[in-house]
Homo-oligomer: A and B are copies of this chain.
């Protein structure tokens, strides 16, 4: 486990030792207010924050306290649900958007369902049978959503007949309560909003059609959960959607900022220049293990001519040009905006919360390492 260099509250951010994941509380609150305000104005559509993106119960609490919140969160795995339902986090309404299939995990799932309002997504009839048997044996009722593949291709049953058949199986199963449907449209890094809206509609129309199919089949669809930070505005306007599962918006990342400039970067990796071996190159103490650059490299800000170019496990290389060749000497600090928030945050046990440039909290990333 990470052993952070604990510095006293009130310490200026530039005095924090590195590498450190720093969150600006003021910017985070603005982001939350902006997205919740855009979605939850009329109470027809609510925000169910997908908290795997940051893994941090302290941040989830800000999201749940904001207007337009569904009162619950979404997570990806059972272990994350356990972490967010734990005594320290205390969140009592959780949707597990991933699958829970092994016998050992299903036992943990029904145990958790006895303590909090818990629902889980399914895409397989055999899994429905296993969940039903366990819920029945444990004497609990488990909420179930049918996960529909809207084109991302990672999982989820096909829309239409397959989804209706699976929903019927859920509705008929003892111990399970059919609550509705969900989908994940996948990353949508489309900067042109007309195109983004069209692509969102193209992906969601089969899901909305399936909602109609389900209702015609006599099944009540209380929940239709879809959308993300990419497309929250258009999704929240669609008739038939009940909640938006956005996740990146409180902290943001470089990938999503290109599409959603109305939100701001609240999370940066603070790093120190540890070497400047030649004029055109500086080395920082932030590499793969610190920034999680699987999908793209983090973006350096504030030094024109300096670009974060390459990363090893522990180090990052800044290519320097023009005035930057004379800057970024050892001991200088830099900030890197992570390209993908979830993979960056998942490297840390703690977030340093900062307000007005000063340290105000160490927030545990309780979701980190909750792999199963």
Contact = CB atoms under 8 A, between A and B. Distances in A.
B79 A149 contact: no
A239 interface: no
Contacts of A281: 153
A146 to B, nearest CB: 12
A101 to B, nearest CB: 5
Contacts of A229: none
B3 A370 contact: yes
Contact of A123 (B83, B99, B153, B277): B277
Main DSSP-derived SS at the A contact region: loop
Copies of this chain in the oligomer: 2
Interface in A261-297: 272-278, 281, 283, 285, 288-290, 292-294
B99 A285 contact: yes
A343 B289 contact: yes
B369 A348 contact: yes
Contacts of A102: 17-18, 272, 331
Interface in A81-137: 82-83, 98-99, 101-102, 104-105, 123-124, 126-127
Interface string A294-320: 100000000000000010111101000
**Which bracket fits the contact residues of A?**
35 or more
Contacts of A124: 275-277, 330
Contacts of A283: 99, 154-155
A194 interface: no
A77 interface: yes
A277 B2 contact: no
A24 interface: no
| Closest A-B pairs by Cβ, 6 of them | A2-B369, A99-B274, A76-B314, A155-B275, A294-B294, A17-B104
Given A123-B275, A154-B283, A155-B275, 14 more contacts: A1-B1, A2-B370, A3-B83, A3-B369, A20-B372, A99-B330, A124-B277, A149-B277, A154-B317, A156-B275, A156-B277, A288-B343, A292-B294, A293-B294
